[in-house]
Amino acid sequence: MKQTLLSLLDAIHSANPELVFEVFFWDGVQTKFGEGEPHFRVRVKSDAALRRLLAAGSLGFADGYIGGDIEVEGDLGALLRLGVDPRFQARRMSWGARLQVLRHALLTRNTMRGARRNIHHHYDLGNDFYKLWLDKSMTYSCAYFETPEDSLEQAQAQKHDHVCRKLRLKPGETLVDIGCGWGGMLIHAAQHYGVRGVGCTLSDQQVAYAQERIRELGLDEQIEVRNQDYRKLKGTFDKFVSIGMFEHVGRRYIPGFMRKTQGLLKPGGVGLLHSIGIEHVKWTGGWVNKYIFPGGYLPRLSEIAGSLSSAGLVTHDVENLRLHYALTLEEWARRFEKHVEDVEAMFDEAFVRKWRLFLNGAAVGFRYGHLRLYQALFANGLEADIPLTRRYMYPEPSPLESSAEPLETA
């Protein structure tokens, strides 16, 4: 078993000879790959953890790492880059591990009740936890960086503004926001574009926070945040937005989500779907679903495009912002580590390892792996008021460059 792992690591190392690392096993066996100071040291502390790693790939690694049977010193991101190597990706999960993933998927389907439970699992960990490492607008999705040096607060305000400009929001228009989180998008659209908005989320804590913030800002007449499943939303709107929620819909519910989207838009209405996606890769297992996002499903761009079209929605524009999400996640991971003692005080060590793995693993996935972030702009039918060219999305100078303060914090 040790030899299987070492052969795999040797093959990956041959393709990345600049990477230096050491592997230690429970029985004292140790191997070093490369010369000089190691980027990281990994300790596999039991035979069971090794078997699990080999049988279940990234899920096996996550089980070991979160459980404490696999320890990593040094650069966790460098280790996680091994996981996106095609040699590692090409390994097949054992049938036992696949059955576990399938069983978990069946237990976490996004029925009306299941969706609420799944969202609760992640988003109701406590606003105090998210406040530790999110920006001030509590925006928990990919930011938009004009340059890599932009602050996170600035980049999130720019993201909201980029979306508003793509949608060409105008005063008095109505906007529906599916999966509105802590309300940052709706608040930006109401404050800077004068729209009237309705948002929904299934997270009790997000609703409480968003409603309070909206009251504080005096926006209660303009925007409303509901504790409601998107499938129960009624009415029609001029504009539609959904940011970082589509990942929670689940594969079998995608056609219904798109039909609902089409139904919520007036004829000629314009919508923007902002979602993580994944390249065409072999199915690589379920550690994120098991530990982070039960019920989640990452679509391919072909699925996004196909399901929009099947619902009668016309795709006008798709932008891949993968590097923006890498920058966002890298900053979240830095802030998380800065406040890691507070996290430990709130939860436990396994929680810290789980989140450290999640934030770093996702950052690696966007920068080096198969994760993508797509913004798809679409219209309900052909009579939409969308300009001939996309020049309108790129005013010079950028509206947020010219203001000293980021708009969001104004």
Task: Give the residue with the Cβ less far from its own copies, 145 or 336.
Answer: 145
By CB under 8 A, tell whether 402 contacts its own copies: no
Residues from 157 through 196 that contact its own copies (CB under 8 A): none
Q: Among 10, 27, 128, 317, which residue sits at the site for its own copies (rule: CB under 8 A)? A: 317
Q: Which stretch binds its own copies (CB under 8 A): 174-182, 184-192, 306-314, 348-356?
A: 306-314
Q: Which stretch binds its own copies (CB under 8 A): 64-72, 102-110, 260-268, 299-307?
A: 299-307
Task: Give the residue with the Cβ less far from its own copies, 151 or 302.
Answer: 302
Q: Among 6, 48, 217, 305, which residue sits at the site for its own copies (rule: CB under 8 A)? A: 305
Task: Give the residue with the Cβ less far from its own copies, 124 or 319.
Answer: 319
In the complex, the smallest distance separating the C-beta of residue 315 from its own copies, rounded to whole angstroms, is 6
Task: Give the residue with the Cβ less far from its own copies, 3 or 147.
Answer: 147
Q: Among 5, 6, 301, 340, which residue sits at the site for its own copies (rule: CB under 8 A)? A: 301
Integer Cα distance of 315 and 273 in angstroms? 10
In the complex, the smallest distance separating the C-beta of residue 320 from its own copies, rounded to whole angstroms, is 5
Contact 48, 26 (CB under 8 A): no
Task: Give the residue with the Cβ less far from its own copies, 203 or 284.
Answer: 284
Task: Give the residue with the Cβ less far from its own copies, 145 or 332.
Answer: 145
* 3-state SS track over the chain: CHHHHHHHHHHHHHHCCCCCEEEEECCCCEEEECCCCCCEEEEECCHHHHHHHHHHHHHHHHHHHHHCCEEEEECHHHHHHHHCCHHHHCCCCCHHHHHHHHHHHHHCCCCHHHHHHHHHHHHCCCHHHHHHHCCCCCCCCCCCCCCCCCCHHHHHHHHHHHHHHHHCCCCCCEEEEECCCCCHHHHHHHHHHCCEEEEEECCHHHHHHHHHHHHHCCCCCCEEEEECCHHHCCCCEEEEEEECCHHHCCHHHHHHHHHHHHHHEEEEEEEEEEEEEECCCCCCCCHHHHHCCCCCCCCCHHHHHHHHHHCCEEEEEEEECHHHHHHHHHHHHHHHHHCHHHHHHHCCHHHHHHHHHHHHHHHHHHHHCCEEEEEEEEEECCCCCCCCCHHHHCCCCCCCCCCCCCHHHC
In the complex, the smallest distance separating the C-beta of residue 322 from its own copies, rounded to whole angstroms, is 8
Integer Cα distance of 175 and 25 in angstroms? 56
Total number of residues that touch its own copies (CB under 8 A): 36
By CB under 8 A, tell whether 300 contacts its own copies: yes
By CB under 8 A, tell whether 396 contacts its own copies: yes
Residues from 268 through 297 that contact its own copies (CB under 8 A): 279-280
Convert residues 236-275 into a mask of x (bound to its own copies by CB under 8 A) and - (unbound): ----------------------------------------
Task: Give the residue with the Cβ less far from its own copies, 202 or 376.
Answer: 376
In the complex, the smallest distance separating the C-beta of residue 145 from its own copies, rounded to whole angstroms, is 6
Q: Which residues bind its own copies (CB under 8 A)?
A: 144-148, 279-280, 300-303, 305-306, 309-310, 314-320, 323-324, 367-368, 372, 382, 388-391, 393-394, 396, 398
